[in-house]
Amino acid sequence: MPEPSPFTSRRGLLFGAAAVSAGAVLTGCTSNEPDDPDGAEPAADTRPADDKPGKRVTIGYAGPLADHGWLNAINDQAKKRAGKYSDVTLEVTEGSNDTAQQIGQIETLINKKVDVLVVLPADGKALTQVGLKAMRAGIPVVNLDRVFNTPQAYRCWVGGDNYGMGLNAGHYIGEKLKDKPDARVVELAGLDNLELTRQRTQGFDDALKNYPNIKKVARQAADFTVESGQAKMAQLLQAQSRFDALWNHDDDQGVGALRAIEQAGRDDFLMVGGAGALSAFQAIKRDDGVLKATVLYPPTMAASAIDLARALGQGRGVSGLAEHEIPSSITLYSAVVDKENVDEYMSTGFQ
């Protein structure tokens, strides 16, 4: 799972993936002065439209081993997005969670002299040097989600907002329980040795501070798998005879959590998941169980990374932004999906 640094996850530019890909029309001039004091016509924007073929670009893509639904969706999104463009050639490495192997794969792409690199590192810290190597070779790097140790190792970072996931989950639960005296919540977290897990928990705890009637009474850390979700959820259910809401960090482990809940015959609380799996969307739409919402960690960030890499290779900015250069960091928003808006997001759900 991804692991952006605190400064990108909390202080980065909040910018939706759709806006990066399609671009919203932005209006900017608030001055009463004319655009050009000499009365001359402003220079025409000669940048090609995003959907029009431009200079051919070869993008090297080094992604993860698809051993998790979200990671599989990341790779799929990148490939599908590249296939949309007739001017893009995508050089894809075999996904790997082995640091040394991924470094070797990226070095091969550097030696092939691709125009741009998109890298979701198995370990951001460990792969920083190969990111620096690419940048020094004149190959701009789009660092996807797990961030390198220094901004010198990438031209642009794009990823999710782990703190925002927890914050939005906490506010959703808080609003549902704000009128319930002595409300109790539990948390099924991810891997505690990952910074992203700590950020999700911190966001959740910070949100709950706004609801003095709510107390978090238990927390278990799982490891983003169906099996661990089932085992850890069973422990929570056994230890807590009464609670009103569950915040589960990951929809994959949530499949196991729901199994444990069904086996225990419990339906006396609401559950909020995380990431945006298709199975979660379908359960939310049916509205026949405890799962009432999930907070997005959109794999569409990989499609946006391809868009950004193409723009870099063609020497242009992003449609909808006035700047001629793409931003240096883009943090996606963690929207809450419930039965009111689930149809809007159904097509983005991953398996």
Buried b (16+ CB within 10 A) or exposed e, 256-283: bbbbbbeeeebeebbbbbbbbbbbbbeb
Rg (CA), the chain: 22
Cα 55 from chain centroid (whole Å): 29
Tens place of pLDDT for every residue, the chain, 351 residues?
444 433 333 323 333 333 333 333 333 333 333 344 444 443 434 444 567 889 999 999 999 888 778 989 999 999 999 999 999 999 999 888 899 999 999 999 999 999 999 999 988 999 999 999 999 999 999 999 999 999 999 999 999 999 999 999 999 999 999 999 999 999 999 999 888 999 999 999 999 999 999 999 999 999 899 999 999 999 999 999 999 999 999 999 999 999 999 999 999 999 999 999 999 999 999 999 999 999 999 999 999 999 999 999 999 998 888 988 999 999 999 999 999 999 999 999 998
Residue 26 CB: number of other CB atoms within 10 A? 10
pTM score over 0.75: yes
Q: Coil, strand or helix: which one is 273?
A: strand
Q: Which stretches of 116-190 are assigned E, i.e. beta strand?
A: 116-119, 141-144, 156-159, 183-189
* Cα–Cα dist 233/231, whole Å: 6
* Cα–Cα dist 54/27, whole Å: 25
Q: If you search the block for the tokens 């402003």, which residue do you land on?
A: 42
Measured in degrees and rounded to the nearest 5, phi and psi for residue 106 equal -70, -40
Residue 169 CB: number of other CB atoms within 10 A? 29
Q: 266: which residues sit within 8 A by CB, 6+ positions away? A: 237, 290
The domains found in the chain, sorted by start residue, are 17-22+51-160+299-332 (3.40.50.2300), 162-296 (3.40.50.2300)
Instruction: Kindly state the DSSP code that residue 40 receives in the 8-state scheme.
Output: P
Cα 246 from chain centroid (whole Å): 21
Q: pLDDT digits over 193-235, tens only?
A: 888 999 999 999 999 999 999 999 999 999 899 999 999 999 9
Residue 297 CB: number of other CB atoms within 10 A? 26
* Cα–Cα dist 31/16, whole Å: 28
